[in-house]
């Protein structure tokens, strides 16, 4: 017993030593804080800030160790105060109320959006922006960050000269379409629609000549309607990069061939579209293999897409959503098979099935999300 107690005694002593060191450090820090020079009223005087040249104020704050975010916030407010101050409304500025006055005349203030006032306000806002840009020439706003992201999303690694050529091509095409629509009062007959769509086909051919095969594929993966639909439809599928490209190669030709041919317009074209879609689906099945193709198919189901949307909020992965969706489909099928059983047995089995699917969903979703989905699908216990 004595030997077994020795380690505990040593541990207690060591803890006491460490605790003492910790207390000493805390006390030393507290003493350092307490001995720091207190802020004086003069140091915090707003008059000093308000009368200091803005570049000098920025320089002083930087030397004092202020974070960039705080400097931007303070100087942003000060620039606004100096160059475009908010008007101070006083009671004597309000118009007296007369019950027989109508429209704007019955309001407490006059119209603040007259052309003269708007022009003056715009001029002041431009002064504010110019001064802020002068103080922070390299500051990147949230809008600027999103613009850069959008540029990367749209172009990837496409060289600048190619980007300019593509933009010029798309601009010419857009202006040609707009001019054609305007010349027809934006009311086209079937033949004129064919002419308009031909403009799109011509643009596509020029784009294919302008870009290499790899550049064109990358551009389409970023900008085509097919790719956008796939990003929306296949969230529950969660494709790899290679899977996305492979499926895209099968689906994108359908867009190019039939995007200008509405369903029901021509039975022969509808038959061609149906055959092309069937062929693309068969090739997709062969490409993905049975398991992933089944994942692909259920991800196209709007109900599965709804479940995946809820899964995003629950921070669960696509595989879990697919598992729950398959359980949901199985429960629906088993419920349908109960129709031939006697009523008491059918009700008992249905209650058991619904309770089971409820328990499984609750392992992933909260009660509200579970109830909402199962009620919509008539599976609420």
pLDDT tens readout for residues 1-28: 334 433 333 433 434 433 443 444 344 4
| Predicted local confidence at residue 53, as pLDDT | 92
Q: Which residue bears the tokens 């398959």?
A: 326
Q: What is the mean pLDDT of residues 47-72?
A: 91
Stated pTM of the model: 0.66
Confidence band (pLDDT; 50, 70, 90) for 118? confident
| Predicted local confidence at residue 18, as pLDDT | 36
Sketch the domain layout of the chain as residue ranges.
Answer: 47-84+112-139, 224-300, 302-381
For 126-166, what is each residue's pLDDT tens digit? Answer: 999 999 989 998 766 666 788 889 999 999 999 999 999 99
| Percent share of the chain, pLDDT over 90 | 59
| Predicted local confidence at residue 33, as pLDDT | 45
Tokens representing 346 are 């059918």
Confidence band (pLDDT; 50, 70, 90) for 36? low
| Predicted local confidence at residue 9, as pLDDT | 35
Is a pLDDT exceeding 80 seen at residue 54?
A: yes
Is a pLDDT exceeding 60 seen at residue 200?
A: yes
Confidence band (pLDDT; 50, 70, 90) for 48? confident
- Give CA–CA dist 331/360, Å, rounded: 11
Tokens representing 77 are 């407010």
Highest mean pLDDT among 111-125, 214-228, 264-278: 214-228
Q: What is the mean pLDDT of residues 167-182?
A: 92
Q: What is the mean pLDDT of residues 294-301?
A: 97
Tokens representing 13 are 């002593």
Q: What is the mean pLDDT of residues 342-358?
A: 91
Average pLDDT, the chain: 86
Which stretches of the chain are DSSP H helices? 2-34, 46-50, 54-63, 68-83, 115-135, 142-155, 160-183, 190-210, 213-223, 225-233, 241-258, 267-288, 290-299, 302-313, 318-336, 343-362, 367-376
Is a pLDDT exceeding 60 seen at residue 32?
A: no
Q: What is the mean pLDDT of residues 347-359?
A: 93
Confidence band (pLDDT; 50, 70, 90) for 41? confident
Tokens representing 86 are 């908010």
């Amino acid at each position: 017993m004595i030997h077994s107690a020795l380690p505990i005694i040593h541990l207690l002593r060591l803890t006491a030593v460490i605790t003492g060191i910790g207390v000493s450090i805390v006390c030393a820090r507290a003493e350092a804080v307490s001995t720091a020079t207190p802020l004086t009223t003069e140091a915090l005087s707003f008059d000093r800030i308000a009368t200091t040249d803005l570049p000098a104020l920025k320089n002083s704050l930087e030397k004092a160790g202020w974070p960039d975010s705080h400097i931007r916030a303070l100087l942003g407010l000060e620039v606004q105060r100096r160059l475009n101050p908010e008007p101070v409304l006083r009671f004597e500025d309000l118009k007296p109320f007369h019950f027989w006055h109508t429209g704007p005349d019955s309001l407490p203030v006059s119209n603040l959006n007259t052309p003269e006032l708007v022009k003056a306000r715009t001029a002041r806002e431009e002064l504010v922006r110019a001064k802020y840009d002068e103080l922070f020439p390299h500051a990147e706003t949230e809008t600027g960050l999103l613009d850069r992201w959008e540029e990367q999303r749209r172009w990837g690694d496409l060289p600048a000269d190619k980007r300019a050529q593509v933009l010029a091509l798309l601009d010419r095409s857009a202006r040609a379409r707009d001019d054609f629509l305007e010349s027809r009062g934006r009311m086209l007959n079937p033949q004129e629609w064919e002419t308009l769509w031909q403009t799109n086909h011509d643009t596509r051919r020029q784009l294919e000549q302008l870009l290499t095969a790899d550049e064109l594929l990358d551009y389409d993966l970023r900008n085509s309607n097919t790719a956008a639909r796939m990003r929306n439809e296949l969230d529950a599928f969660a494709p790899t990069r290679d899977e996305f490209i492979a499926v895209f190669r099968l689906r994108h030709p359908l867009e190019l061939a039939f995007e200008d041919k509405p369903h029901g317009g021509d039975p022969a074209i509808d038959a061609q579209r149906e055959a092309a879609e069937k062929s693309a689906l068969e090739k997709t099945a062969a490409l993905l293999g049975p398991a992933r193709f089944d994942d692909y198919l259920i991800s196209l189901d709007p109900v599965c897409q709804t479940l995946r949307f809820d899964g995003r909020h629950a921070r669960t992965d696509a595989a879990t959503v697919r598992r729950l969706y398959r359980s949901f489909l199985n429960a629906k099928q088993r419920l349908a098979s109960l129709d031939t059983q006697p009523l008491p047995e059918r009700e008992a089995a249905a209650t058991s099935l619904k309770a089971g699917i409820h328990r499984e969903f609750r392992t992933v979703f909260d009660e509200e999300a579970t109830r909402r989905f199962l009620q919509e699908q008539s599976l609420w216990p």
